[in-house]
Structure 1
Amino acid sequence: MNLSASKNAYIRISLCLFLFYFSWSATWSFLAIWLGDNVGFTSTQIGYTLSVNALFALAIKPVFGFIMDKLGLKKSLLTCVAIASVFAAPFFIYVYQYFLMTSMVIGMILGGLYLGTAYLAGVLVFETYADRYSRAFGFEFGRVRMWGSLGWAIASIFAGQLFNINPHFNFMITSCGAVAVLLILLTLKTQGDEIDWQAVNESRKDPVNRKDVRVLFQHASFWVLMLFYGGIIWMMQSAEQQFPRYFVTFFADHRTGNAVLGYMGFVQSACEFILMFSIPFLINRIGARNGLLLAGFFIGLRLVLSALATHPWMIIVIKPLYGLEMALLLVSIFKFLAEHFDKRLTGTIYMVLGCFNYLGITAINPLAGYFYDKYGFAYTYMVMGCIAWLITLIGIKFLGKQKAISLQELPG
């Protein structure tokens, strides 16, 4: 492996993820607050809106996963996602808010289609590609993904203050950042002798087909992974999507809460950035299976502690745990897939997992919104945290106990 080529590849793919996450941090971090304060939705209505977004992502992700496995190192799909992200500002300012306030169903459908493509499924396209690109040039995916966390963190520093001035500024940052992503994509090298084509799975010689994907669903190991990973993600993401609205209630006014939320987003993502550099060493030592189980434990812990918090300093201390959870999940899941499944199917399996995750989130978000309105955030988070712990206990018994799957061993 040419060290100079590997270093250049690392810098460019890292910068690509940095800019993509920087762009969307400014908008996504405050989506629930925007829906509540600017659109005027209740927690239940926000839950339905987020569920529609998840439903569209559910439909789009497996298609994107299948395309990614066919494309190898080609950048076509990344370019499409980046172009869609360029239109974030006009979409939010002139389309999304207008239809949500005048025709909620149409607004939800349009939002689901756009956000499902540009962010919810798009982020997995970038992460899957970054994992494949990392293997192609011989460096750790975690050390690439950490730059995405840094991008999210830096945008968070000023995102809360900008939101207090006018949310339109946040949407404009997303659009401008996406333009920069497109420019970086043009510089990514996808041909040459320096690339480890075996690591890229040599898809042209032995392409992924529908039968390979269909047969996966006949194996217990795949179902165990889906149920465990999906279960803890359901609790984690359903809680996180409206967590900003809970967070700001600890402060005297929402403007102060919005500003502190932005600063804490920086701290959380900075922790994730640091951990994405160090977590690979931990996972290599304890194993990907134990990394996933550890993530499940911390997800439950953060939710239970959030439910018990009574002062601003408590919720501020608890918030950065999300960065640890993300680092553990992102590094562990790709290593787990590489250990237990054929590497050529990594993109497809990760997208199927994402699809399954959003299927659960689609069902849970309206229910969680109803519980927020009826019983409050604290009670709901306590329930979610205990469920995450229960899933983790079941995972200790069953996760990763089955034989690894190779395409050559799959029945015809």
Structure 2
Amino acid sequence: MQNIFTKALRNPFYRTGSLEILLFFAGWGIWWSFFQIWLTTKQGFSGAQVGTIYTFGSAVALVLMFVYGSLQDKLGLKKHLLIAMVGCQVLLAPFFTWVYVPMLESNFYVGAMVGAVYLAVAYLAACPVFEAVTERLSRRYSFEYGQARAWGSFGYAMSALAAGFLFTINPYLVFWTGSAVSAVLLAVLLLLKPENKEANVAAYENSEERNKAVKSPSLKEIVQVFGIFDVWKIIIFVILSWTFYTVFDQQMFPEFFTRFFATPEEGQQAYGILNSVQVFLEFLMMGLVPVLMKKIGVRSALLLSCLIMICRIGGCGLASTPLGIGLIKLLHAPETALFVLAIFRYFTLHFDTRVSATLYMVGFQIAASVGGIIFSVPLGSLRDSIGYQSTFLTIAGIVLVATLYACCILKKDDRDVEGQPLEA
């Protein structure tokens, strides 16, 4: 394992891609990990109102993800779109301080919609673009995507840990820190370009992937993704499973966990530490899952992630102590690594890799956004009426149904291999 890691570090494309995705997740995690707590404890919104904010964000991201995916498939490895998105991220603190909060106070629905547009443009729809570009870089320049994506989890973990302390000092510190990290990321995108050195390209470029990328997909080929029946099967699966990554982890769990402590400040610091430990474990799992996936296969990895999700969400509905809930929450690490890496590999295994960004957006990210639109407000209202833990058990039941459905529709790894075979 150490030799694999050392070899990867020698690859300048791996180093650059890893640094970019680390800074993106660090700049996002520093405030996003406390967004739900900020909305409920600092702004005083109910579960239904928080659900509305998440729903609006998911709705805007739904449209924008297809646009971003189509643009990035046309751009290939060019980073113009990433630079534009990061430019918006630099404005995070000014937007939240002087635009978002006053608008929410004066007219909740107008503020929620304006905030949704900004969040979708800068973050919600930007995240899968960073992941898609990094995955494409990994295939083109000979490194393991999971190892690079792991640095994103590491960045998020470090930010979540810092956020737990910054938030208790002044909630707005997390937003200003996010802007500062994004400014560093913008400089990295503009200055670090290993592809400009011929020696780097000659040493690491995969000629087969280069030849595939010579002809970028046409708009017709990109739009035809919506006509693939197998993609729609995956969309339904994602709506009934990964949707709850957002609904449970971001919309409900933070405030639920902090209620077990004597003061809100103590709970917020404990949540920051828990979130950091969880995402640090996710960082480790991101490096290990590619090895595991080669042994058990892509389909089995997806099914295993769903089983872990059922145990994690259902377990939080049954546990009654902060220690027990915290330990169960750590199952998030293998669950996330398995699902994110396996779903991406499923698309590049069974479909044309030239439209991988669009497939990832439509089949995974957009599907999850649709699920967010469908479930955020109803589950927020359900939480208001029956409490957190009964709602968690309801969610676990839905994911169980999704897992049974996945057993029927997910293709085996050796069937319909139209992309990059596992042997590669």
TM-score by length of 2: 0.91
Task: Find the aligned partners of 1:385 and 1:155 in 2 and give their Cα distance.
Answer: 29
Deviation, structure 1 residue 25? 0.9
Look up the SS of the partner of 1:291 in the other structure.
Answer: helix
Where does 1:352-363 land on structure 2 (aligned, <5 Å)? 352-353=362-363, 354-363=365-374
Check if 1:224 corresponds to 2:233.
Answer: yes
Check if 1:141 corresponds to 2:145.
Answer: yes
Change over 3 Å in CA distance of 1:405–1:104 after alignment to 2: farther
Where does 1:199-238 land on structure 2 (aligned, <5 Å)? 199=209, 202-203=212-213, 205-238=214-247
Task: Find the aligned partners of 2:22 and 2:398 in 1 and give their Cα distance.
Answer: 33
Identity %: 32
In structure 2, which of residues 65, 69, 94 is the aligned counterpart of residue 65 of structure 1? Answer: 69
| Structure 1 unaligned regions, length at least 5 | 408-412
Task: Find the aligned partners of 1:197 and 1:357 in 2 and give their Cα distance.
Answer: 34
Task: Find the aligned partners of 2:51 and 2:281 in 1 and give their Cα distance.
Answer: 28
2:47 and 2:380 in contact (8 A); partners too? yes
Partner of 1:43: 47
Deviation, structure 1 residue 285? 1.0
Q: Report the count of equivalent residues.
A: 404
Task: Find the aligned partners of 1:378 and 1:270 in 2 and give their Cα distance.
Answer: 26
Change over 3 Å in CA distance of 1:307–1:71 after alignment to 2: same
Partner of 2:28: 24
In structure 2, which of residues 413, 416, 420 is the aligned counterpart of residue 404 of structure 1? Answer: 416
Partner of 1:314: 324
> Which is further off, 154-163 or 43-52?
154-163
In structure 1, which of residues 159, 184, 188 is the aligned counterpart of residue 193 of structure 2? Answer: 188
Deviation, structure 1 residue 237? 1.8
Deviation, structure 1 residue 197? 5.3
2:76 and 2:216 in contact (8 A); partners too? no
Look up the SS of the partner of 2:240 in the other structure.
Answer: helix
2:157 and 2:275 in contact (8 A); partners too? yes
Residue deviations 1:178-218 (CA, integer Å, cap 9, x gap): 01111211203345443335425644x43312332343334
Residue deviations 1:271-307 (CA, integer Å, cap 9, x gap): 0011111110001111111111111111111110000
Look up the SS of the partner of 2:11 in the other structure.
Answer: helix
2:259 and 2:267 in contact (8 A); partners too? yes
Where does 1:336-351 land on structure 2 (aligned, <5 Å)? 336-351=346-361
Change over 3 Å in CA distance of 1:360–1:40 after alignment to 2: same
Change over 3 Å in CA distance of 1:337–1:4 after alignment to 2: closer
Task: Find the aligned partners of 1:314 and 1:207 in 2 and give their Cα distance.
Answer: 50
The residue type equivalent to 2:187 in the other structure is: L
Partner of 2:277: 267
1:22 and 1:151 in contact (8 A); partners too? yes
Check if 1:385 corresponds to 2:389.
Answer: no
Deviation, structure 1 residue 6? 6.0
Look up the SS of the partner of 1:232 in the other structure.
Answer: coil
Task: Find the aligned partners of 1:202 and 1:6 in 2 and give their Cα distance.
Answer: 25
Partner of 1:74: 78
Look up the SS of the partner of 1:250 in the other structure.
Answer: coil
Partner of 1:410: none
Partner of 2:405: 394
- CA root-mean-square deviation: 1.8
Partner of 1:13: 17
Task: Find the aligned partners of 1:188 and 1:276 in 2 and give their Cα distance.
Answer: 25
